[in-house]
Amino acid sequence: MLGTTRRARSWVLLVGALTIALGVAPAQAAHQPEQIILPGARSAEGIAAGTGTTFYAGELFTGNIFRGDVRTGTASTFVTAPAGRMALGLRVDVPHRLLFVAGGFTGQAYAYDLTTGATRAVVQLTSEDSIINDVAVTSDGAWFTDSLAARLYFVPVSATGVIGQVRTLALHGPAAVVLPGFNNNGIQATADGRTLVVAHTNSAVLNTVDPTTGDSATIAGVSVPNVDGILLEGRTAYVVQNFSNAVTEFQLAGDLSSGRLLKTVTSRGFEVPTTVARFGDRLAVVNAKFDTGFPPTATQFEVNVVDR
């Protein structure tokens, strides 16, 4: 866990960023959503698709994890986290039967057993000021972003599912820009794991990152104010723009050097969405409700399921 002073500094930075973002106007052209309640949740942030129609969603300030089904429209508690944990971005590693979770202000990452919900590992990524914000899974491990620093963290996983020691990757180029508030945020990897795509909130762009050197380049033609979580499927990127209350879909070039906007999805049910998972022609989007405050004061949190 972060110490009290370190946590307070991170908290101030985050609240400041959210306050600035409140001035952004919402997007247009709404869809009517289906809503799946996260029972008992008092905050929310991350979502990830599991197998079939299963999803996993996190409770930001407690670290609890819910497991739900977009077909039945139900969800229930899957992991009751020990005190002191947080849950921001999360991602499923199906081959290793793991659920990786970004630990926010704690500087930690968590790995849970995908079958039982038992904790498989607690990895201290850093002891410095940090917001461990999101995670991407490759065939050999998990990458985590830090919204307060020009670095990524890699947690290796062996073929037999053994979780190894963290490695820190220093960033260079546009992904290394660090300003007050959120910097590197959502993250995804290409199917071969040779390139990472990282959202930079302050710069309102997506950057590619070489996972070996840390060199980065901005993807031209992709302007995404309030960018938060992202989803990459082939060369299609789904980008959550939280205070814009929108998910934008971009077609990226084969070399990931540029992209063009395909569509913008909005919904009357969106209330500061932060992350997205796809199930066929539908998107599952989590409401963080940061418009009510930080921590949010809303009494209900849900996943919106909308047509893409």
| pLDDT surpassing 60 at residue 294 | yes
pLDDT of residue 26: 41
Find out if CATH 2.120.10.30 is the number for domain 4-307: yes
Vertex 38 angle, CA 34 and 39, to 5°: 125
Q: Rounded mean pLDDT of 70-75? A: 97
Check if the beta carbon of residue 22 is closer than 8 Å to that of residue 242.
no
User: What average pLDDT does range 56-82 have in this prediction?
Assistant: 98
Q: How far is 237 from 201, CA to CA, in rounded Å?
A: 16
Let me know: does 102 contact 88? Beta carbons within 8 Å: yes
Residue 30 pLDDT class (50, 70, 90 cuts): low
With cut-offs at 50, 70 and 90, classify the pLDDT of residue 181.
very high
* Residue 33 binned pLDDT confidence (cut-offs 50, 70, 90): confident
Q: Please, are residues 129 and 9 in contact by the beta-carbon 8 Å criterion?
A: yes
DSSP 66-98: EEEETTTTEEEEEE-PPTT----SEEEETTTTE
Rounded CA-CA distance 55/51 in Å is 8
What's the pLDDT at 161?
A: 94
Asked if residue 260 has pLDDT above 50, the reply is: yes
CA–CA gap between residue 107 and residue 2 (Å, rounded):
7
Interatomic CA distance for residues 163 and 48, integer angstroms: 20
In the chain, where are the structural domains located? 4-307
Share of the chain above pLDDT 70, in %: 90
- Contact yes or no for 273/239 (Cβ under 8 A): no
User: To the nearest whole number, what is the mean pLDDT of the chain?
Assistant: 92
- Gap between the Cα atoms of 230 and 78, Å rounded: 24
Tens digit of pLDDT for each residue in 185-231?
A: 999 999 999 999 999 999 999 999 999 999 999 999 999 999 999 99
Q: Please state whether the predicted TM-score (pTM) of the whole model is above 0.85.
A: yes
Question: Do 303 and 67 touch, CB atoms closer than 8 A?
Answer: no
User: Strand pairing partners for 216?
Assistant: 209
User: Residue type at 74?
Assistant: T
Instruction: Tell me the pLDDT band of 31, cut-offs 50, 70 and 90.
Output: low
Report which residue type is found at 295: P
- Report how far residue 151's alpha carbon sits from residue 172's, in angstroms, rounded to the nearest whole number: 9
Nearest to 207 by CA among 168, 166, 239, 248: 239
Cis peptide before 296 (omega within 30 of 0): no
